[in-house]
Amino acid sequence: MKKIINKPENVVEEMMQGFAQTHDDLVHRVGETRVMARNYEGKNKVGIISGGGSGHEPTHAGFLGKGMLSAAVFGDVFTSPTPDQVYEAIKAADKGAGVFMVVKNYTGDVLNFEMAKDMAEAEGIEVDYCVTNDDISVEDSTFSDGRRGVAGTIYVHKILGAMAERGASLKDLKTTAEKIIPEMKTIGIALSPATVPEQGTPGFELNEDEMEFGIGIHGEPGYERVKLQDSKSIAKEIYGRIKKAYDLKDNDEFVVLVNGMGATPLMEEYIFMNDVLALMKHDGIKVVKKMVGDFMTSIEMAGLSLTLLRLKDAQWLKDINEPVETPAW
């Protein structure tokens, strides 16, 4: 295992220290907890929190700040934060109008965020939440009941964050989240695995000439392992599956995200985006925004994911384009 770390058991703690010091103009650590919060107060506005296992940076702390998340909670690498940790994030985000939680669909996350909600409500904090499930690769997988929540989650962060900044209510955020989530669809691929520092060995194995379609962000199994393909072939496969998952209409507009898994060069991500856009142009599908980069990674996994978001409401695009003050957006 080759990593630029000190002791494997200290990676999350030292990462949090480094993140807080680097971005101290925007965020701060909440005491000695596993919670990071934005410096911007957002008084009397709904606070938005998210979180999960570490190893997916810049998600989630990279999206803290004015116009996006209020607090983020760090679990151990690929491990859900505890209810107590999530509760601390809720308290940090509460500025008088309640707190909305964006939870990715993994069993531990859902259970622990729900328990934290109960704890907060017992203390008089109004809390609601949504569960993202944009990964259409497989219906059920390791750690999840139903589809996994992956890179599309950042669009929920962004749109709800803009709404909260405008003064939207907790109920408004819930209603919009329930409209956005069915319109997000993602499939990921892996060329090589990630290694959790405390385990010291790769989470799965792929031969040099192999790749896997439908891999999860924790290394969960996908739907097919094949010989390595070129970018055009990969784009045709996963875009084709995503397209079939929509009931397309002539006036549909889409946001397209190519997300790197951690070890994929931007050069390759742009090549892949070029191939996806060519397919969409051929199909006459209107793309109104494109994004390329590392938004939800899997430590040093080589691979990427493709997310499409169909814009059912013109306001969503305005909210995605609304300026924010965060470390990573």
- Catalytic annotation on 282? no
The span from the CA of 63 to the CA of 50, in Å, is: 10
Pairwise CA distance, residues 184 & 280, whole Å: 16
Of the listed 23, 56, 60, 157, which one is catalytic? 56
DSSP string, 28-93: EE-TTSSEEEES---TTS-EEEEEEEESSTTTTGGGBSBTSBSEEEEEEETSPPPHHHHHHHHHHH
Q: How many residues does the chain have?
A: 329
Per-residue burial over 240-249, b = 16 or more CB atoms within 10 Å of its CB, e = otherwise: ebbeeeeeee
For residue 218, indicate whether it is catalytic: yes
Active-site residue identified among 23, 60, 157, 218: 218
Give the single-character DSSP code of 148.
P
Residues 45, 280: Cα–Cα separation, whole Å: 39
Cβ proximity of 145 and 221 under 8 Å: no
Taking the C-alpha atoms of 12, 17, 18 and 19 in order, what is their torsion angle to the nearest 10 degrees?
80
Catalytic sites, residue numbers: 56, 218
